[in-house]
Amino acid sequence: MHDAVQVNGLRKSYGKHTVLKGLDFTVRQGEIFALLGVNGAGKTTALECMEGLRRYDGGDIHMMGKVGIQLQTASLPEHIKAIEAVRLFAKWNKTVPDKSVLESFGIYEIAKKRYAQLSAGQKRRLHLALALIGNPDILFLDEPTAGLDVEGRLSLHEKIKQLKSQGKTIILASHDMAEVEDLCDRIAILHEGEISFVGTVEDLSLKVGKQYNISIRTDKGIEKMKSGDINETLSILLDRYREEGTGILDIQIDRGSLEQHFIKITKENKK
């Protein structure tokens, strides 16, 4: 798989405060890639440098394709109508808006509404539709579902998955770990302006020390435990139940959420 984005030694300071201390990572073509980090880790600055919205002090950023940016809310004049924004972006991109895209994002329903009258979800949908007007190869999404209700969130997740299936490379920043886990192929974790991890969620769980949460329901009750070696633990438990004559009704094993891994790795970094 080819790289869609290459970031080499990206550095950025605000006055004496260094925000990005030489980031190196690549984003592969057609994948959904997330930048994660606690507040102040530098993910928005990194994202804005990659988007071309912010100047950077050193390093290189290479984009292999046309870029589309889902701008944050409040980035359009409050009196502009949704359809006017679409037409304006289309004119600037020297293209004609794709009606099917506008339809799928429900833009026609809000066409005559002014930006200030739109709900948070409608604004996000509009910004995503605007980002797609130039038919970009690489799409940047900053907190794409922040402030949305469950329905809006799920609907937008579906849209993002559809875009991936169309071969678009998607780079997003999010605080929502469940969202990242659901959507992303790979993640990068930023900590104090440095990359502390790049890889899949599975890679992350291996790095932080895989720990399974095991829950077994038997005819005598529910037993819960954590284990680093699933084979050994299950083997011991099953032998014990057999000896005791305990009947097993249900076994649930989960490998720990991204959120748990993220908290663990950021805590380790702080030490």
Partner 1 sequence: MNAFLYAMALQWKLDIRSKTLLITCYIVPLLFFAFMGSIFTSILPDAKNTLIQSMTVFGVTMGALIGLPPSLVEIYGGSVQNVYKANGVPISIGVILTNCSAFIHLFTMGSILFVAAPIIFGAQLPANPWMHFIILALLIGVSLSVASVIGLLVKDPSKTAMFSIIVFLPSVILSGIMFSNTLLPNAFQVIGMLFPATWGYRLMTEEVFRFENLLPLFLIWAAAAFLCALLLKRADMRR
Residue ranges that bind partner 1, judged by CB under 8 A: 48, 51-55, 69, 71-72, 74-80, 84, 87-89, 91-94, 114, 131, 134
CB nearer partner 1, residue 72 or residue 162: 72
CB nearer partner 1, residue 86 or residue 265: 86
Is residue 200 within 8 A of residue 187, CB to CB? The reply is yes
CB nearer partner 1, residue 52 or residue 209: 52
What is the 3-class SS of the chain, one letter each residue?
CCEEEEEEEEEEEECCEEEEEEEEEEEECCCEEEEECCCCCCHHHHHHHHHCCCCCCEEEEEECCCEEEECCCCCCCCCCEHHHHHHHHHHHCCCCCCHHHHHHCCCHHHCCCEHHHCCHHHHHHHHHHHHHCCCCCEEEEECCCCCCCHHHHHHHHHHHHHHHHCCCEEEEECCCHHHHHHHCCEEEEEECCEEEEEECHHHHHHHCCCCEEEEEEECCEEEEEEECCHHHHHHHHHHHHHHHCCCEEEEEEECCCHHHHHHHHHHHHHC
CB of 54: closest distance to partner 1 in angstroms?
Answer: 5
CB of 84: closest distance to partner 1 in angstroms?
Answer: 6
CB of 74: closest distance to partner 1 in angstroms?
Answer: 6
CB of 16: closest distance to partner 1 in angstroms?
Answer: 15
CB of 151: closest distance to partner 1 in angstroms?
Answer: 27
CB nearer partner 1, residue 25 or residue 89: 89
CB of 255: closest distance to partner 1 in angstroms?
Answer: 38
CB nearer partner 1, residue 6 or residue 73: 73
CB nearer partner 1, residue 140 or residue 262: 140
